[in-house]
A and B are shown apart, each in its own frame.
Chain A
Amino acid sequence: MTPAAMLATAILLGAFVAAAGAYGLLYCAARISDRKMLRTGGYVSYMGLCLITLALVAFTPLHVGWKVFVVASCLIYLMIPPVTWRYLTRLHREERIR
């Protein structure tokens, strides 16, 4: 790994989690306020996450195992906000019924 590749890889890894966070935040904000702009922002963030994943896979010297892990994480990050949201909504609904 060259010094430049090390730095680029690290920045991409940080951006990877930041994009996942932005997607989660905007997804939830869109669910609360029902604003189209926020929903679009969430999709754009996730697209950003996919592009970062692509860059990590195609251009960084990470071992293939880590690249598979990054791709799998990208897919898991897609599911976390909706699954968590559904779980929280169900919990609150059950609580209201009780």
Chain B
Amino acid sequence: MYRSQRLGLKYLTASTVMFGAMVAFGLLSSIYYIWPGFLLNVFNFNTAKIVHIDGLVIWLLMGFLGAIYWFLPQELECEVEGIALAEILFWVFCAAVAVVVAVLIFVQYGAASESSMWFINQGRKYVEAPRWAALGIVAVMGVFAYNVIGTAVKARKTTGILTVLIFDLVPLVVLYLDAFPEIRNMSQDLFWWWWLVHLWVEATWEVLIGCIMAWTLIHLVSASRRVVESWLYVEVAMVLGTGILGLGHHYFFIGTPRYWFAIGGFFSALEPLPLLGMVVHAVYDAGSNHLRAANRPAFYWTLAEAFGNFIGGGVWGFMMTLPQINLYSHGTQWTASHGHFAFWGAYGCGVIAVLYLALEKSRGYDGLDSRAWRWSFALLNIGMLGMVGALLVAGMDQAFYERAIGGSTWGAFLAMEGRPWFVEGMWTRSAFGLLFACGYATLVYDLLTARRPEAAVTESMAAAGS
């Protein structure tokens, strides 16, 4: 095994730990909606939510880095350039994440001063990490870009997937710099902030996961490189074609010119089209393999990625993307429902598929199968469906009564907190969140004890015999 692959495994392990932290803080955050006075002035809702959402960004980012450090040396058949530096930065990254979480838990917030921004919280939604840690992320991404490009130069070779990845590294690194400026005009601030949040998530990350899933298909079902690369080009063109100007759906009602209604609505309404193409591709591949693969967990998580992306991003997104609907749905639990589903489908399932693929190869197995992965697959997906269903009902209730009828007043907001559908929605979300957490625990158990298929068959035969 290459050193880079060992580093990839470390990143994937760290990613799994962060996944757990994200789930734990998500569960905690859900409790505040049931008991609004929960941990008041001890550990407020806003901090729990920060750790939950930033935990999501970090677990996925670590998962992507782990996947690429895993696949890259196989792709170029040589060790990754600058691997020693990458190994050092992995530990720096982990230590920085631990310190930031500790500061967010124990210090939480400070005075409105430069020092608070440097050492406690930068204050920008979803990228709240203090400035020193944000600089650390820039360093990690810079070294990662050097690793990828340097290795291609060293190997004097590139492939279609790698070329797409290298082009994607530029916006991946550059857009993160948008986390730093202090803009006092709120409209201007939001205008640029969405470049970071949307263009990372709905453009550069989509391309990144496209490259990762392309490698996954090559290693998982021995898909033809030429087929996978041709399809990757088509998908990347379509995703970028719709996703870049789809940014406009975040520009409704934030003080931007009116033409963003048409641009944002039109391009984001086009976003389900490439997602449907991905579903067709997934069904084609699944059919070609008769729904069989040696590594069944990785195969099923790959399928879940295609369908989850379509439903979470496409169906849930299209419901609320046109400006007339978005006026009422924006910022309600409806948005949270879409966010949960889309992130899970587009990225979460993909990272778990890579986890299983790397696990199989690192343990020298030829395939993986167990009862535990089926349980974790079912619990995680049912838990997610239950959560997004509950959030959708609560969010529609909010959009209807609080926004459309109540006119978004403070009184309407308070009245909403007691409405039965909203309250029941919050309880249901927490219950399914607990189920999701059980799925996570089962996933970790399976990752620690995963076996090759024949071992699982032998054990089940022995159990049947006894």
Task: Check A69 against B280 for contact (C-beta < 8 Å).
Answer: no
Task: Check A16 against B318 for contact (C-beta < 8 Å).
Answer: yes
CB contact list, B260-299 vs A, under 8 A:
262, 265-266, 269, 272-273, 276-277, 279-281, 283-284, 287-288
A32 interface residue (CB < 8 Å to B): yes
B444 to chain A, nearest CB (A): 32
CB contact list, B316-365 vs A, under 8 A:
316, 318-322, 324-325, 328-329
Of chain B, the residue at the smallest CB distance from A4 is B400
**Chain A CB within 10 Å, residue with most, of B280, B287, B325, B404:** B280
* B70-78, B103-111, B122-130, B222-230: which lies at the interface: B222-230
For the complex with contacts A3-B405, A31-B287, 18 further pairs of A-B residues with Cβ separation under 8 Å are: A6-B324, A6-B328, A7-B399, A10-B319, A10-B396, A13-B318, A14-B319, A21-B314, A28-B287, A29-B287, A66-B265, A66-B322, A80-B277, A84-B281, A85-B280, A91-B224, A91-B231, A92-B227
- Given A10-B329, A28-B283, A91-B230, are A62 and B322 also a contact pair (CB < 8 Å)? yes
Task: Check B224 against A10 for contact (C-beta < 8 Å).
Answer: no
- Give the distance in Å from the alpha carbon of A1 to the alpha carbon of B315 in the complex: 22
Our pick among B269, B272, B284, B400 for the contact of A88 (Cβ within 8 Å) is B284
What are 30 A-B contacts with C-beta separation under 8 Å? Answer: A3-B328, A3-B405, A6-B325, A6-B400, A7-B400, A14-B319, A17-B314, A21-B276, A21-B310, A24-B280, A25-B279, A25-B283, A28-B280, A28-B283, A29-B283, A31-B287, A61-B324, A63-B324, A66-B322, A77-B273, A80-B280, A81-B276, A85-B280, A85-B284, A88-B227, A88-B281, A88-B284, A91-B226, A91-B231, A95-B224
Our pick among A13, A24, A87, A92 for the contact of B325 (Cβ within 8 Å) is A13
A18 interface residue (CB < 8 Å to B): yes
Q: What residues of chain A lie closer than 8 Å to B329, measured between beta carbons?
A: 10
Task: Check B269 against A9 for contact (C-beta < 8 Å).
Answer: no
Task: Check B284 against A69 for contact (C-beta < 8 Å).
Answer: no
**Chain B CB within 10 Å, residue with most, of A6, A17, A95:** A17
- Given A7-B400, A13-B318, A14-B315, are A21 and B279 also a contact pair (CB < 8 Å)? yes
Of chain A, the residue at the smallest CB distance from B329 is A10
- Given A84-B281, A88-B280, are A6 and B315 also a contact pair (CB < 8 Å)? no
Task: Check A18 against B284 for contact (C-beta < 8 Å).
Answer: no
B416 interface residue (CB < 8 Å to A): no
Our pick among A3, A27, A95 for the contact of B227 (Cβ within 8 Å) is A95
B311 interface residue (CB < 8 Å to A): yes
- Give the distance in Å from the alpha carbon of A7 to the alpha carbon of B329 in the complex: 10
Give the interface SS of chain A, mostly helix, strand, loop or mixed: helix
- Given A18-B315, A95-B224, A95-B226, are A81 and B272 also a contact pair (CB < 8 Å)? no
Our pick among B224, B272, B404 for the contact of A17 (Cβ within 8 Å) is B272
- Give the distance in Å from the alpha carbon of A73 to the alpha carbon of B362 in the complex: 45
Q: What residues of chain A lie closer than 8 Å to B321, measured between beta carbons?
A: 13
CB contact list, B30-61 vs A, under 8 A:
none
| Residue interface bits B193-236, CB-to-A below 8 A is 1, else 0 | 00000000000000000000000000000001011001100100
Q: What residues of chain B lie closer than 8 Å to A84, measured between beta carbons?
A: 277, 280-281
Q: What residues of chain A lie closer than 8 Å to B288, measured between beta carbons?
A: 92
Q: What residues of chain A lie closer than 8 Å to B320, measured between beta carbons?
A: 10
- Give the distance in Å from the alpha carbon of A28 to the alpha carbon of B303 in the complex: 14
Task: Check A24 against B324 for contact (C-beta < 8 Å).
Answer: no
- Give the distance in Å from the alpha carbon of A18 to the alpha carbon of B328 in the complex: 22
- Given A6-B399, A6-B404, A65-B262, are A81 and B324 also a contact pair (CB < 8 Å)? no
Q: What residues of chain B lie closer than 8 Å to A31, measured between beta carbons?
A: 287
Task: Check B283 against A32 for contact (C-beta < 8 Å).
Answer: yes
- Give the distance in Å from the alpha carbon of A63 to the alpha carbon of B230 in the complex: 38
- Give the distance in Å from the alpha carbon of A28 to the alpha carbon of B146 in the complex: 41
- Give the distance in Å from the alpha carbon of A44 to the alpha carbon of B200 in the complex: 38
Task: Check A91 against B280 for contact (C-beta < 8 Å).
Answer: no
Task: Check B281 against A13 for contact (C-beta < 8 Å).
Answer: no
**Chain A CB within 10 Å, residue with most, of B279, B400, B401:** B279
- Give the distance in Å from the alpha carbon of A21 to the alpha carbon of B396 in the complex: 23
Q: What residues of chain B lie closer than 8 Å to A62, measured between beta carbons?
A: 322, 324
Of chain B, the residue at the smallest CB distance from A20 is B276
- Give the distance in Å from the alpha carbon of A3 to the alpha carbon of B403 in the complex: 9
- Give the distance in Å from the alpha carbon of A27 to the alpha carbon of B401 in the complex: 40
- Give the distance in Å from the alpha carbon of A20 to the alpha carbon of B269 in the complex: 13
